[in-house]
Each structure stands twice: as structure tokens, then as C-alpha cells.
């Protein structure tokens, strides 16, 4: 046992021997027992395991004894890792190609478009008679029913015309009655009391009075309908829009001065690129998503427009076609209007003509499988023969309309048969009923 003086001397002595790293490593190696794997490795290498643990030396990392033998588990592991990397790379490549094809099909060939709009019929109402507006019974954006009065034109002049026509009609009726009695009386007289000439004249006077009476009746009917037209009515159910008239304005016959949106005529136009028209079929289900609303409007493809304007068809000077130059490597796809008939409108969506919609055709996509989509992408879309009805003669024959022919002139004898018989033949025995019978 050391004395306290020796311990103190050791702590204060500056030249204390430092531990050797090699000695420390050997001491650690002596403490750690050998692993079974080392003994197995020694047996595999053809050498005897070290019996004395104190005589074991550290193994050089560069020594060939630590390397696996050729064809061992290390090479199989490296081969498996390389194979896995190659398979993963091929899988990623295939997925990238499939994703590119799906994106191409979705954005280039799929039947959908963002260029859609809500359309509606607008009834431009013009008065059929002219006059000053004395009353306006509607306001802007008001809903009106078919037959409701929109505004009233001053009816005074038309009432006077109707009363005057009725008075003239009574006059013509009295003149007709007198002429008919005179002609009938002459027709029953003998040759001693009258002559054939007088009989013909009085029968002619009666026919002229009948014609004047018929004309007066038509004038009264015209005056009556003009009086009713002073009340301008709505021809459709809808909304009054852009109302600018006011009381005191002058309404000119045939000039539009009020418009009513037909609430029963809304539809949606989708302007599809011509590269997508092979997937559009009449009767397919269509969905139109309006901007600002979540739920789409559901409808059906009703028809496809069969003609759009062509700028190259416009004639230039001397009637020659005006052809615009285009770049052969850049061609924009033309857009074709497709009419969508609305079938269901979600609650809370007010239809406004001109609203923007994204239109998607669902019926064509539902009938195709993934293989069909891939074939369409690679070889191009194949349209169905029953998608769009055919128009025109299959043989290409030109249809000609029959040319109307003017009516043959009608003689006076055909209009008034028996009025002027032969000069030597008395009409006393003729039946005057066709001209002289009074109308009930």
C-alpha cells in the first residue's frame, strides 16, 4: 500500500509517464472476448484460431483476409441492389410516360372546353302602330307573363278611325240593300217594263255595292285591331331588360323600343376545338360549371353547328377571294359551337346570358376504356358513325326548289259569272241568287 507521501509526490511530479496508445488498445483487446464469427472465419480461411487471447494482434484493414471470397454473398447483394435500381428507374420512366399520355389526352383530345357561355333568346318588341306613349306599366328587370301589357300608346286617333269605319260600314250596308232590291225588282219585270240593258246595269250596281260593303267591313276590322295594338303586350314569359323608354316618348311602328328575355329559352353554347369534335355526340350528357358556383348545370348535347364564318371566303377587289397567309407549322384549331340543352339547374344559380362556363362532355368518355384512350392518343380519335346525323344527299345531288309560276289572269266573267249574258238574251229568267241574295 502506498503512503500518502508517495501519492502526493506522484501528483506533484511533472514528469509523469503518459500512457501508450498501443498498450491501451492491446488492453482493450484482451478484455473483449473473441466473437464466434471470428472463429468461424478462421476455420474458413484454413488457419487455427488463436488460443492465447493476449497474443492476438490487430488486423490490417488492407489485409486480404477481410475480403469476401469470390462468388460470396457480397456479389449477390450488389447484383440485387443494381437490379432493384434498374427496375425502379424503368418503373419511374413508364409512370412518367403514362402520366404524359394521360395529360395529353385530358388537355388535347378530351371533349371539354373553358370557352362556354350561357345563351338566351331575346324578344325585341316593336309597336305595330305609331303614337305617343301615355303609360308605362313595367320597370327594368321585372318579370312579366305572356300577354301582360308593357306600355300603352295614345288610343284617341285609333278610336276615331274605328268609329268612322263603323259609320261608313252602316252606309255601305244601306246602299247594298237598296241596290239589291232594285236589281231584284228589275229581274222580275217583263220585257215591256224594262230592257235587258237596265237589268244588267242594276245587277252590276248591286255587285258594286256588295264589294264596297265588304271593303268597309275589312276597314273596320283593321281599325279595331289597330286600336287593340295601342296596348303593347309581352309575347313571352321573361324579364324586361335595359328599359330606357319613358312616358311621353314617341313610339314608331316597326322600331324596337323594349326587350324581354325569354325565360324559357336558356341554353349553353360550348365552343369546342375541332380536334375534340370526334368525341362529341348528339344526346351525350354534358356538364357546365359556371364561374363562381360549385355545382354544375346538367344538360344534353342538342345539336352541332354546321357552319362557321370563313375569312378566306370574303371577296376582295374584282370579286377575287381574299386568302390570308398562314404559317404551315403553326395552325390554330378552329372552334365549333355545340348547343347544350339544359336539363337540370342546381338551386340558387341564377342564369344570366353571357355567363362563362366550363363545358365537359361525359357521355363519350363513359363508353371508352383505357385501351381505347391509348389507341386514340396514338392513332387519333375514331368517331362513331351515329354521333352526328348526316345532312344532305349521300349521292351529292343538288336539290333545286320549284320555280313559282305567276297565276293566270282572271277574267271578269269568272269573278261575276252571269252578270253580262248575251245582248239578245233577256236575264229575266236567270237566277239572280249568286249576286242578289242577302247575306245573313
Contacts of 13 (CB under 8 A, 6+ apart): none
The backbone torsions φ and ψ at residue 93, rounded to the nearest 5 degrees and listed phi first, read: -65, -45
pLDDT at 239: 97
Rounded CA gap, 432 and 412, in Å? 17
Give the C-alpha distances (Å, rounded to integers) separating 438 from 220, 318, 345, 376.
Answer: 20, 67, 62, 81
Q: Which long-range contacts (CB under 8 A, 24 or more apart) does 52-56 make?
A: 53/29, 54/30, 56/29
Rounded CA gap, 362 and 368, in Å? 11
Domains and CATH numbers, the chain: 111-121+262-308+334-379 (2.40.30.170), 122-258+430-436 (2.40.50.100)
Give the C-alpha distances (Å, rounded to integers) separating 243 from 120, 138, 248.
Answer: 18, 9, 15
CB 149, CB 258: distance < 8 Å:
no
pLDDT at 324: 81
- H or E stretch including 10? helix 4-12
Residue 428, CA atoms < 13 Å, CB-side half-sphere: 12
pLDDT at 344: 94
The backbone torsions φ and ψ at residue 150, rounded to the nearest 5 degrees and listed phi first, read: -90, -50
Mean pLDDT by 10 residues, the chain (440 residues): 45 46 46 48 48 51 52 79 92 90 76 94 96 97 96 97 95 92 86 82 90 94 96 96 95 96 96 88 93 94 89 82 80 90 93 94 66 68 69 57 76 68 50 51
Give the C-alpha distances (Å, rounded to integers) separating 80 from 75, 76, 340.
Answer: 9, 6, 58
Rounded CA gap, 144 and 398, in Å? 47
Chain-centroid distance of CA 232 in Å reads 33
- H or E stretch including 262? strand 258-262
pLDDT at 26: 47
Rounded CA gap, 362 and 220, in Å? 60
SS3 188: coil
Rounded CA gap, 28 and 25, in Å? 5
pLDDT at 389: 67
Amino acid at each position: 500500500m502506498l503512503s500518502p507521501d508517495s501519492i502526493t509526490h506522484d501528483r506533484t511530479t511533472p514528469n509523469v509517464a503518459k500512457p501508450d496508445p498501443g498498450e491501451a488498445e492491446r488492453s482493450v483487446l484482451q478484455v473483449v472476448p473473441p466473437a464466434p464469427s471470428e472463429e468461424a472465419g478462421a476455420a474458413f480461411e484454413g488457419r487455427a484460431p488463436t488460443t492465447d487471447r493476449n497474443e492476438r494482434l490487430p488486423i490490417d484493414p488492407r489485409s486480404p483476409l477481410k475480403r469476401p471470397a469470390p462468388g460470396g454473398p457480397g456479389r449477390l447483394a450488389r447484383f440485387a441492389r443494381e437490379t432493384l435500381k434498374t427496375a425502379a428507374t424503368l418503373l419511374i420512366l413508364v409512370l412518367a410516360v403514362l402520366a404524359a399520355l394521360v395529360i395529353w389526352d385530358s388537355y388535347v383530345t378530351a371533349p371539354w372546353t373553358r370557352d362556354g357561355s350561357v345563351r338566351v333568346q331575346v324578344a325585341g318588341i316593336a309597336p305595330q302602330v305609331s303614337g305617343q306613349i301615355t303609360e308605362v306599366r313595367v320597370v327594368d328587370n321585372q318579370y312579366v307573363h305572356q300577354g301582360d301589357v308593357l306600355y300603352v300608346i295614345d288610343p284617341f286617333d285609333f278610336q276615331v278611325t274605328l268609329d268612322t269605319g263603323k259609320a261608313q260600314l252602316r252606309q255601305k250596308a244601306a246602299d247594298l240593300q237598296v241596290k239589291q232590291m232594285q236589281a231584284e225588282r228589275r229581274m222580275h219585270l217583263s220585257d215591256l217594263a224594262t230592257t235587258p240593258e237596265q237589268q244588267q246595269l242594276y245587277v252590276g250596281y248591286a255587285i258594286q255595292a256588295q264589294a264596297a260593303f265588304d271593303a268597309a267591313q275589312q276597314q273596320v276590322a283593321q281599325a279595331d285591331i289597330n286600336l287593340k295594338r295601342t296596348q303593347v303586350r309581352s309575347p313571352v314569359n321573361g324579364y324586361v331588360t335595359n328599359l330606357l323608354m319613358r312616358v311621353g316618348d314617341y313610339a314608331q311602328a316597326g322600331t324596337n323600343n323594349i326587350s324581354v328575355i325569354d325565360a324559357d329559352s336558356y341554353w349553353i353554347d360550348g365552343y369546342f376545338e375541332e380536334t375534340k369534335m370526334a368525341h362529341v355526340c348528339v344526346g351525350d350528357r354534358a356538364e357546365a360549371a359556371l364561374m363562381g358556383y360549385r355545382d354544375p348545370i346538367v344538360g344534353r348535347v342538342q345539336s352541332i353547328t354546321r357552319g362557321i364564318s370563313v375569312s378566306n371566303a370574303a371577296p376582295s377587289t374584282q370579286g377575287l377571294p381574299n386568302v390570308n397567309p398562314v404559317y404551315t407549322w403553326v395552325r390554330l384549331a378552329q372552334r365549333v359551337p355545340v348547343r347544350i340543352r339544359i336539363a337540370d339547374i342546381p338551386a340558387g344559380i341564377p342564369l344570366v346570358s353571357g355567363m362563362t362556363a366550363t363545358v365537359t362532355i361525359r357521355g363519350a368518355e363513359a363508353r371508352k376504356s383505357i385501351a381505347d384512350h391509348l389507341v386514340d392518343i396514338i392513332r387519333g380519335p375514331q368517331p362513331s358513325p351515329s354521333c352526328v346525323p348526316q345532312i344532305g344527299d349521300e349521292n351529292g345531288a343538288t336539290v333545286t326548289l320549284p320555280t313559282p309560276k305567276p297565276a293566270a289572269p282572271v277574267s271578269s266573267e269568272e269573278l261575276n259569272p252571269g252578270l253580262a249574258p248575251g245582248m239578245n238574251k233577256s236575264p229575266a229568267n236567270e237566277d239572280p241568287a249568286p249576286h242578289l241574295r242577302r247575306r245573313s
